[in-house]
Amino acid sequence: MSPVRVEVTATDGAARTGRVHTARGTYPLPAFMPVGTRGAVKALDSADLEALDVEVVLANTYHLMLRPGVDVVARLGGLHRFTGWGRHTLTDSGGYQVHSLRPAVDDDGVSFASVYDGATVRLTPESAVEAQGLIGADIQMVLDVCATLPATPEVLRVAVDRTAAWAGRARRHHRQLEARPEGQAIFGIVQGGTDPRLREESARRTVELDFDGYGIGGLSVGEPRAAMLEALAATVPLLPADRPRYLMGVGDPIGLMEAVALGVDQFDCVGPTRMARHGSMLTSSGRLNLRNAVHATDDQPLDPSCACSTCARWSKGYLRHLLGVGEPTAWRLLSIHNLAYVLDLMAEARAAIAEGTLAALRARTTEVWGG
């Protein structure tokens, strides 16, 4: 029996809201997961995330297995105790990061050079499962093959076939693995690029393995939005209604709303915090470039309609000053605001689905963010 169950409390078309039940507790859907790649969301700590009412944080297996090493994380109590985070965690297998390093890929796994010291590292579906078992997140992801887009049909075919084969190996190994937390879930990943037929095939092959949830990978990697949505539309209806549907790597406002409308439940993206560190702010009026000189003497908050702790206390002029002089405090305060914006958008989506008004929220979001 799966340790994960989706409780749907309302729908609006294909969109749905409710709760995801896990061995640890529950979290709402749709949900946005901030990315704490190396065990921390950059510039923030667990108390900051709790204040924002974050429910799930993502960490990356690839980075943690290299520094400090999964044995160290396990020895220090697992990911939750290690990071001081008591709510849900999810670990990405590292497939995307490995893909970006252009590793040597074969049917058994991948070999790549460590970004820290250049040492050769080998990762297989089984070793990825074992590493994530030791890290101890509530949810782990299978190792998959993410093709760079645009890709030829031959490249996409190999990615789909290898991902399916690796998913089967990971599922079997996870069931047998003793060195993992009781109730740890494992999600499969659907690949197929922007080809709807390959997406459908990959979804069916992944669902046959009966995972606890399903990631949708290989999108938001430079393809046109229309192509991404077509691939999503072909995929989501084939995923079980009682399991979470997770679109990996999407965090822009329009992308979030369009995917929610298609029935996606959860998301992650480094975008909001990365943008914040560069002074690119998400607001109810659209994107604001805090580095522009016009904000130097502005005594208003980043967004007058935002209730986050940054907007409640500090002006654009002060925040621009911190950013301009390289004060690390700027990264923290601006990241808090951008995460608050995305989390509030998810809360608006949940309310809109319950009220049957998601179409209006989508329209407003598209109007603000320019389609």
Cα torsion angle, 316, 318, 319, 325, sign:
positive
Asked about 212 being catalytic, the answer comes back as no
What's at 272, amino acid-wise? P
Is the Cβ–Cβ distance between 214 and 241 less than 8 Å? no
Catalytic residue among 252, 265, 268, 303: 268
Cβ atoms 183, 3 nearer than 8 A: yes
Our CA angle for 128, 134, 135, nearest 5°, is 85
Q: With contact defined as beta carbons under 8 Å apart, do 89 and 119 qualify?
A: no
Q: Of 302, 288, 293, 290, nearest to 336 (Cα)?
A: 302
Tokens of 369: 């963010």
Number of C-beta neighbours around residue 349 at 10 A: 25
Q: Which helix (H) or strand (E) holds 339?
A: helix 328-355
Is 138 in the active site? no
Q: Rounded CA gap, 12 and 368, in Å?
A: 22
SS3 227: helix
Catalytic pick from 12, 48, 92, 195?
Answer: 92
- What are the distances in angstroms from CA 203 to CA 130, 165, 193? 24, 13, 12
The residues annotated as belonging to the active site are 92, 268
